[in-house]
Structure 1
Amino acid sequence: MATPEFVLSLRERIGHDPLPLVGVTAVVFRDEKVLLGKRADNGVWEAVSGIVEPGEEPADAAVRECLEEAGVVVKATRLALVEQIPRITYANGDQVDYLGLVFRCEWVSGDPHPADGELTEVGFYGLGEMTDVAHEHVRKIALSMAEDDPATFRGGR
């Protein structure tokens, strides 16, 4: 997966220190199916996700990622989940603290295909076909199913 230029620029200044980033996941529904892709870097099946660019609206980032990674046009319709993801340390030593935002999205147009190399397979799958989906993405999909529920979040002490 290509690291965004703004992250590379920041890494030149801060090295491997923890970097706070906003990540988005787009849970895209088409009829009774959900858009899933198999990641090129680790082979995991999950919903489309990516990093919010500086100054970008998070819902717009979710829409952009769907077009870039899966070749489909979608509309973000609801914020489903807000969560702080536990710190990730990548193989090169870079540390990232992601604030994760999950959006329920509706398919508008386009046939899914691996558009930019970040996914090796992508398509719409029925809920019963999600046997190989990463556990945390099954939760994200479940929380995104309702069209009008309020967003779920952790914390609130």
Structure 2
Amino acid sequence: MATPDFVLSLREKIGTDPLWLSGVTAVVLRDGVDGPETLLVRRADNGRLTPVTGIIDPGEEPAIAAEREVLEEADVVAVAAALVWVHALRPTTYANGDQAQYLDLVFRCRYVSGEPRPADGENSEAFWRPVSRLDDVDEEMRARIVTAAGGSDVARFER
């Protein structure tokens, strides 16, 4: 995944020390023949199937970040409809030694237009999948999709 310039600038100052970042998960949904469908991408870096995810740029509104990431990564236009889950992810250490932890904001997004494709090189595939068929999506990402597809406009908070 491409590292945002602001993160690279911070890394010049702090090296590989832990960095707290805000991210978004955009669960894009549309009506399908077999019920609701969600937009999935296969990440080029690790092969995982996920909804579109990304880092919020400094000063960027989180809902705008979700919409931007969907367009950049999958060439799909979507509108953030509801914030459905706010949670801190576990700390992670990347192959280069950089440490980070993310506050993840999960948005349910409404599909507007576009045919999914891996648009920016971060993903090797982009496609629609029925929400009922997520067996090959890991538990963490499946929970984000199921929470968004649940339809509640009240955000879930971890305690």
Q: 1:93 aligns with which of 83, 93, 97?
A: 97
Q: What residue is the counterpart of 1:17 in the other structure?
A: 17
Q: Counterpart of 2:21 in 1: which secondary structure?
A: strand
* 1:79 maps onto 2:83 in alignment: yes
Does the CA contact (< 8 Å) of 2:83 and 2:153 recur in 1? no
Q: What residue is the counterpart of 1:6 in the other structure?
A: 6
Deviation of 1:133 after TM superposition, in Å, equals 0.9
Q: What does 1:90-129 correspond to in 2, within 5 Å?
A: 90-129=94-133
Q: Percent identity?
A: 55
Deviation of 1:93 after TM superposition, in Å, equals 1.0
Counterpart of 1:103, as a letter, is: F
Alpha-carbon distance in structure 2 between the residues aligned to 1:85 and 1:77: 22
Counterpart of 2:88, as a letter, is: Q
Point out the more displaced range, 127-136 or 76-85: 127-136
Alpha-carbon distance in structure 2 between the residues aligned to 1:118 and 1:62: 15
Q: 1:132 aligns with which of 136, 141, 158?
A: 136
Alpha-carbon distance in structure 2 between the residues aligned to 1:33 and 1:84: 26
Does the CA contact (< 8 Å) of 2:108 and 2:149 recur in 1? yes
Per-residue Cα deviation, 1:99-147 (whole angstroms, up to 9, x for no partner): 0100000000111101001111111111233221121110001111133
Alpha-carbon distance in structure 2 between the residues aligned to 1:116 and 1:14: 28
Alpha-carbon distance in structure 1 between the residues aligned to 2:134 and 2:88: 25
Q: Counterpart of 1:129 in 2: which secondary structure?
A: coil
Q: What does 1:36-75 correspond to in 2, within 5 Å?
A: 36-75=40-79
TM-score, structure 2 as length reference? 0.95
Does the CA contact (< 8 Å) of 1:78 and 1:147 recur in 2? no
Give unmatched runs, 5+ long, in structure 1. none
TM-score, structure 1 as length reference? 0.96
Give unmatched runs, 5+ long, in structure 2. none
Alpha-carbon distance in structure 2 between the residues aligned to 1:134 and 1:104: 19
Q: Counterpart of 1:38 in 2: which secondary structure?
A: strand
Counterpart of 1:30, as a letter, is: R
Alpha-carbon distance in structure 2 between the residues aligned to 1:149 and 1:53: 25
Deviation of 1:91 after TM superposition, in Å, equals 1.2
Does the CA contact (< 8 Å) of 1:85 and 1:97 recur in 2? yes
Structure 1 stretches of 4+ with a deviation exceeding 2 A read 146-149
